[in-house]
Amino acid sequence: MKDWLPAIDSHRQTLAYKKGETIFEEGMPVKGIYFLNRGKVKIYRKWGHQKQLILHFAKEGDIIGYRGLANESIYPVSAMALEPSTLCFVDTVFFETTLRVNNELTYKLMQFYSNELQYAERRMRNLAHMDVKGRVAETLLMLKKDFGENKEGIINITLTKQDLASFAGTTYETFFRMINEMAKQKIVRLSGKEIAVLKARKLKELSTMK
Amino acid sequence: MKDWLPAIDSHRQTLAYKKGETIFEEGMPVKGIYFLNRGKVKIYRKWGHQKQLILHFAKEGDIIGYRGLANESIYPVSAMALEPSTLCFVDTVFFETTLRVNNELTYKLMQFYSNELQYAERRMRNLAHMDVKGRVAETLLMLKKDFGENKEGIINITLTKQDLASFAGTTYETFFRMINEMAKQKIVRLSGKEIAVLKARKLKELSTMK
DNA sequence: TTAAAAATATGATTTATATCATACTTTTGC
DNA sequence: GCAAAAGTATGATATAAATCATATTTTTAA
């Protein structure tokens, strides 16, 4: 992913966001693409005013806003900083010009989209058929894989239970019950917002079709 | 979509499939990409042996198997002909070589993926938050938009109720009840496998968040 | 530093939707 | 042309998960 940064290195503009600040919102016109230098960001789609489905948690090095590079020039998703974050912004016109002349970059981005599409469609299938406990299990495995864990085995991302639930595609209450049950069975260890996976094998099992 | 056909016109190979025949299956190694010349194809992800989520119905002119063009060289989805279909096949190596030299084609394909991703993520959100009646309503609107309707207003695709249910992300029984209810309310007209949308406005309303 | 807001925790209740059961009809393959 | 398989149709029942209610704790911002 980092490989394409040099190509647009010149035209960048650095922006800082506080925790809870919105970077862009679905329905807003696309102005450019963002690269996350520092911090963590959630990408989500809203449903009504209260509900949302979190599609992705972005970390340092990730690009954000690429979903807007389609025909529609409107963001199909929203992005909010989960901690103080620094992003560099490249306006669409320049980015697209770069893509037009840099075939390698375009090819990489295309492959990247292809992977994202695979991931989205797998999750779609899971939302349709996997039970909530399975989705909670998968959520934890995904976070562990994407963000890693420290020496104590604690996953390197701090999230509210509500955000975890919105990522798993369920309600806060149900998520809480599920993860609590897993804690009782010593599959995970919880302490405040810290989560450690103790039995990855068991989680894998829970997220496998029965 | 048709615009990129000429670029690979030479290396093609024509294949015919009967109704119900599998074109490729998830987990199989990717050999190439397909262009649907004639017929209709369902693209789906399996869950266990009985269940599936249909991601997309492809029609004449559509490309199929593009999801395999990521890092993994394994099809993440399956494809099955819904009626006698003719496809033209282009092997991955040649297609990728073409992409490497044809920036315009790569750019178009990238945009195409971006659109697909938007679509997938919107459906993801719907599976998480929209009720089944809403999803059934949206399913019908989408089919009407994608396949059009004849003079009598009948949608130009013939599907089993089971496939319709698998596309809406529900069971056959629930789908049946929902669409039946819509027929009683004169929102749609049913006759065998024929479906006509009578009140698109009402369907739109049902698929809007409450 | 303190009041307000957000997040956590958990029991009780409701509801949407899946599952099960069964009969009938249409389609398909030999 | 006919038997088997696939699809359609519907009622009854089960259940997973959402919703509601409420108390406590933690975090945030003035």
**What digits encode the pLDDT tens for the residues B153-186?**
999 999 999 999 999 999 999 999 999 999 999 9
Answer whether residue A59 shows pLDDT above 80.
yes
**Domain regions of chain B by residue span:** 2-126, 131-206
Distance in angstroms (rounded) separating the CA atoms of residues B102 and A59: 32
Distance in angstroms (rounded) separating the CA atoms of residues A109 and A206: 33
The pLDDT-based confidence of B210 (bands split at 50, 70, 90) is low
For position B164, what pLDDT does the model report?
Answer: 98
| Contact state of A209 with B100 under an 8 Å Cβ cutoff | no
Residue with CA nearest C1' of nucleotide D27: A160
Nucleotides of C under 7 A from a protein CB: 6-12, 16-21, 26-29
Distance in angstroms (rounded) separating the CA atoms of residues A40 and A83: 6
Tokens at B118, concatenated: 């938007």
Q: Which residues of chain B lie closer than 8 angstroms to A135, CB-CB?
A: none
> For A81 and D26, how far is CA from C1' in angstroms?
20
Mean pLDDT of A46-53: 93
Alpha helices in B17-77 (DSSP H): none
Return the H-helix or E-strand segment holding A85: strand A85-91
Mean pLDDT of chain B: 92
| Contact state of A45 with B124 under an 8 Å Cβ cutoff | yes
| Contact state of A113 with B117 under an 8 Å Cβ cutoff | yes
Mean pLDDT of B124-140: 98
For position B106, what pLDDT does the model report?
Answer: 93
Which nucleotide is closest, CA of B178 to its C1'?
A: C17
Mean pLDDT of chain A: 92
Mean pLDDT of B70-92: 91
CB contact burial B82-109 (16+ within 10 A = b; e otherwise): beebebbbbbbeebeebbeebbebbbbb
Q: Please give the CATH topology (third level) of the domain spanning B2-126.
A: Jelly Rolls (2.60.120)
> How far apart, in Å, are the Cα atoms of B22 and each of B43, B60, B77?
10, 17, 11
Tokens at A167, concatenated: 């990522």
Tokens at A139, concatenated: 């959520």
CB contact burial A138-172 (16+ within 10 A = b; e otherwise): bbbbbbbeeeebeeeebbebebebebbbbbbbbee
For position A9, what pLDDT does the model report?
Answer: 62
Mean pLDDT of A66-75: 80
Mean pLDDT of A1-15: 68
For position B66, what pLDDT does the model report?
Answer: 83
| Contact state of A122 with B76 under an 8 Å Cβ cutoff | yes
Lookup result for tokens 């595609």: A169
For position A12, what pLDDT does the model report?
Answer: 76
CATH of span A131-206: 1.10.10.10
Residue with CA nearest C1' of nucleotide C26: B192
Cβ of A83 near strand C (under 7 Å)? The reply is no
Q: What confidence tens digit (pLDDT) does each residue in A9-21 have?
A: 667 789 999 999 9
DSSP state of A28: S
Lookup result for tokens 């999803």: B135
> How far apart, in Å, are the Cα atoms of B132 and each of A53, A128, B79, B152, B186?
17, 11, 25, 27, 19
Mean pLDDT of B43-65: 95
> For B41 and D6, how far is CA from C1' in angstroms?
19
Give the distance from residue A32's alpha carbon to the nearest chain B alpha carbon, in angstroms: 15
